[in-house]
């Protein structure tokens, strides 16, 4: 068992929603994490639903084209308020995942528990604690929009998980 050099990886995290979809791009090399950019796609209620999906897809295609992440990380959702909101969330999530798939990104999914554990160190942490930790981690002067903050959290979760795996990877002796 040997420590291996970890190349920098750039991940885009997504917090999908039919009213607001957050995204956050983070680069990590196993020792440090660097915030590349983040934002929230606002989806006005007056927009027909199919147009909202197109806005999510088009905007994420642009963000991916501009920032060139290598992979996409999304929260694996298991519950929603009700079936109707699950359907809406599923459609927004589908549009985001397709933007990643059509840009050749590999998809990684993490449960809310794994994300909170990776950011706060406690799987039952509240949304505010995750936001505060993201603010602290990237030395931000103020809190981010919650959707952008949650998107950064899933990107950080992926980079931390990937980095721990790479550190313990078995390598052949020369």
Contacts of 7 (CB under 8 A, 6+ apart): 29
113 binds a copy of itself (CB under 8 A): no
Distance from C-alpha of 103 to C-alpha of 106, rounded to nearest angstrom: 9
Among the residue ranges 21-29, 48-56, 119-127, 129-137, the one whose residues contact a copy of itself (CB under 8 A): 48-56
Residue from the set 20, 36, 86, 120 that interacts with a copy of itself by CB under 8 A: 86
Distance from C-alpha of 130 to C-alpha of 134, rounded to nearest angstrom: 6
DSSP β-ladder status, 9-15 and 71-75: parallel
Among the residue ranges 6-14, 28-36, 90-98, 157-165, the one whose residues contact a copy of itself (CB under 8 A): 90-98
107 binds a copy of itself (CB under 8 A): yes
Nearer to a copy of itself among residue 10 and residue 88 (C-beta): 88
Helices (H) and strands (E) in the chain, counts: 5, 5
47 binds a copy of itself (CB under 8 A): no
39 binds a copy of itself (CB under 8 A): no
Q: Tell me how far apart the 2 most distant CA atoms of the chain are, in Å.
A: 62
97 binds a copy of itself (CB under 8 A): yes
Residue from the set 29, 36, 39, 98 that interacts with a copy of itself by CB under 8 A: 98
Go through 64-102 and write b for each residue having 16 or more CB atoms within 10 A of its CB, e for each that does not: beeeebebbbbbeeeeeeeeeeeebbebbbebbbebbee
| Chain positions contacting a copy of itself, by CB under 8 A | 48-51, 53-54, 57, 77-80, 82-84, 86-95, 97-98, 100-102, 107
């Amino acid at each position: 068992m040997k420590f291996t050099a970890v190349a920098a990886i750039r991940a885009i995290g997504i917090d999908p929603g039919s009213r607001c979809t957050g995204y956050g791009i983070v680069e990590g090399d196993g020792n440090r994490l660097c915030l590349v950019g983040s934002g929230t796609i606002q989806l006005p209620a007056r927009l027909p639903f199919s147009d909202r999906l197109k806005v999510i897809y088009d905007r994420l295609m642009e963000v991916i084209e501009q920032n060139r992440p290598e992979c996409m990380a999304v929260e694996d959702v298991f519950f929603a308020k009700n079936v109707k909101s699950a359907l809406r969330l599923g459609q927004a999530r589908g549009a985001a995942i397709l933007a990643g798939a059509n840009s050749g990104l590999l998809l990684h999914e993490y449960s809310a528990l794994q994300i909170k554990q990776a950011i706060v160190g406690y799987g039952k942490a509240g949304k505010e604690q995750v936001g505060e930790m993201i603010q602290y981690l990237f030395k931000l002067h103020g809190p981010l929009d919650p959707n952008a903050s949650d998107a950064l959290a899933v990107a950080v979760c992926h980079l931390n998980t990937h980095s721990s795996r790479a550190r313990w990877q078995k390598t052949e002796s020369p």
